Structure 1
Amino acid sequence: MRGSVDRGRLFTTAAAVVPALVAAAHIVPAGTWLSGPRRAWLPALAGVGGGDHVALTFDDGPDPRSTPAFLAALDGLSVRATFFVVGEQVLCHRRLSHDIVRRGHELAVHGWTHNRPWRPAPVREVRQLARAAHTVAEVSGVSPTWYRPPYGILTGDRLLAARRTGLRPVLWTAWGRDWTDRATGESVAATVLADLRGGGTVLLHDTDRQSAPGCWRAALDALPRLVGACRAAGLTVGPLGEHRVAGQD
């Protein structure tokens, strides 16, 4: 009788502990969203690269309403960048995605959709990330290297999916808070430059699909200021592929 009771308690305890462990494995890696600890303890994940270089990256596109304006501005500045694209958007806008590559920019993966990972779903994450990577590879002609999860939330599921898909997660060291309706070119540039150092990775957005309508114009207006400030400091600006992130081939 006593053995039956003990086994019952063991099963009850396991039933309570296992879901908690699964939830922890899902959520704890997402703590890397905090920029201070990320830069200090995980510089490669933060996108820290060569001290004479700044990586310029854009999230959430491609968007035919706004991405062409960024491509034109980057042409005018003689700067290439990395575009973290959403797989379903690439599928809808193949010609624009091809144009990004044709102009010398790098395509990276921002997921299949721009979703929030509320609950563990490892099988779905692997399947969707693999689909996004395959779509990007078809458009660019090369297998993508980089993965930035939507909202920068790198859960355990997403980390596992990246490893299974052969993608390297990378976040950022400086962002422009360019997704709000109050953002301006001046505010975006000032916010980025306050945190930017040589070797940093900048996060901006080339679309307003996930943010305030029209806010992409603030990021666009900030580009000449940002590039000018970097060059004045003796820093080159380019894509992650040229950034010499730790462990990069």
Structure 2
Amino acid sequence: MGRRRGGQRWTGPGLLAAGLLAYIGLPYLLVQRLGLGTVRQGRPSGERVALTFDDGPDPQHTPAVLDALKAADMRATFFLLSGAARRHPELVRRIQAEGHEIGVHAARHRHAWVRPPWEAYHDPVQARRDLERLSGTPVRWGRPPHGAYSLANLLGLRRAGLTPVQWSIEGGDWERGAAPQGVKGRVLRELHGGAVIVLHDSGPGAQVTPAALPGLLRGLAERGFYSVTLSELDAAPVTRQHLPARLMAGLDRRLDRWLGIRPALGRQGGLFRLQPLGFPLGGLRWPDGTPIPRGTPALEFHVNNPLLVDLGLRRFPPRARREFGWVAQDWRGRPELEQAEFIYCLSVHGPVLERLGFLSVPLAPHDQKRLKLWSDLMHRAYGTQPRKAQPVLSIMSRDEFLNRFGRTVTEPG
């Protein structure tokens, strides 16, 4: 028999689909994908990141991970399986003694979607109790196996008093064919301030991570970053107020892939992304009256909006001056950028860019109105007040740009 609602009969398959949507679909969308209620990253303008390691402790691999962290004088958070922790309490003690933090992974490593609800609910409660007994300290973080959620394990995490933690960079050490250099390169390409990086010190990923870690830690230090525990990262869970900014950032990433926009030097955490194209506007002139023909090979730069919001306009110029050095290095080194005759940006930040040497060119009224609407939408999505200034074309010739920024130090200090 089916149930009636609003005059319609709910059949068995319909009830099952509705149940699965509530039990798995909504947690997947709201928590796993949008990150609601989870810690994903800290401040993008900072130098701190949080290395995290899942699936341990493992007597074969965890000591090598700890050795590498100790040699680099960096700290991390270890999401432990309480069963493995009971078998190797000496590793739990060493993790704590060396200044690292412990989080709950699970009592048993099983995907949330295939666990019976009562087991998924009780698992984080049991695991936290066991880990606190072994460590003698409170545990505040929880990350379920595979970063997967169901309604039952979400309720279990809440019952255990744990804050769910996801990540903003996945090292991919567990993937088939993963190699130390590949894992190191992947993390460093995606590296950004406040990143929460997930790696493994047990299971398939542990065959790769201990060998990758010394070089990865050197790469962090060379770029001015250092790893801390999640508590030291001082990251807050995603709330409903953060969702518009997360959706806008996701739209930016999709547009970048579609339009071929790439970050300077391939560094995802940088301030600028670059797009070579024919200049799209017509009827504009340089301030000296020289025409800017439509279709002229040009290089457009786009600003990393979450980073700009976190920096603020006061701290933007020194950071921009340094990272324009990355742009100059990319301009000289990437063949597809060689033909660009000038670099430009369409934004409401013309006065700030003028301080960096860019010239401001007024836009046609219809372009100005279109860009102002988009600018206001972005400001509201990121929780900042729309600027009163009108959009302008900020432009600089290739020779002038390379002369100004081509010798800039390209590594963050």
The verdict on how the C-alpha distance between 1:33 and 1:191 changes in structure 2, with shifts beyond 3 A counting, is: farther
2: CA distance between counterparts of 1:131 and 1:180?
Answer: 29
Matches within 5 A, 1:1-249: 10=4, 13=10, 17-28=14-25, 29-31=27-29, 32-34=31-33, 37-38=34-35, 42=36, 45-51=38-44, 52=46, 53-119=48-114, 121-208=116-203, 211=204, 215-246=205-236
Aligned with 2:51: secondary structure? strand
**Distance (Å, rounded) in 1 between the aligned partners of 2:64 and 2:184:** 18
Q: Percent identity?
A: 34
Q: Secondary structure at the match of 2:155?
A: helix
Identify unmatched segments of 5+ residues in structure 1.
1-6
Answer whether contact 2:39 2:237 (CA < 8 A) is retained. Answer: no
Relative contact order, higher structure (CA 8 A, sep 6+): 1
Greater C-alpha Rg: 2
Q: CA deviation at 1:61?
A: 0.4
> Per residue, is there more strand in 1 or in 2?
2
Q: Secondary structure of 1:10's partner? A: strand
Q: Number of residue pairs matched?
A: 231
Q: Distance in 2 between matches of 1:180 and 1:15?
A: 38
Which whole-Å CA distance do the structure 1 matches of 2:76 and 2:196 have between them?
Answer: 11
Distance 1:138 1:173, change over 3 A: same
SS of residue matched to 1:60 = strand
* Cα separation, 2, equivalents of 1:178 and 1:232: 22
TM-score normalised over the length of structure 1? 0.83
**Superposed displacement of residue 181, structure 1:** 4.9
Q: 1:14/1:157 Cα in 2 relative to 1: closer, same or farther (>3 Å)?
A: same
Contact 2:113 / 2:150 at 8 angstroms: preserved in 1? no
Say whether the 8 Å CA contact 2:121–2:154 is kept in structure 1.
Answer: no
More helix by percentage: 1
Q: Distance in 2 between matches of 1:49 and 1:231?
A: 18
The CA distance in 2 between the partners of 1:167 and 1:18, in whole Å, is 31
- Confirm or deny: 8 A CA contact 1:86 1:110 kept in the other structure: yes
Structure 1 CA distance, aligned partners of 2:20 and 2:223? 45
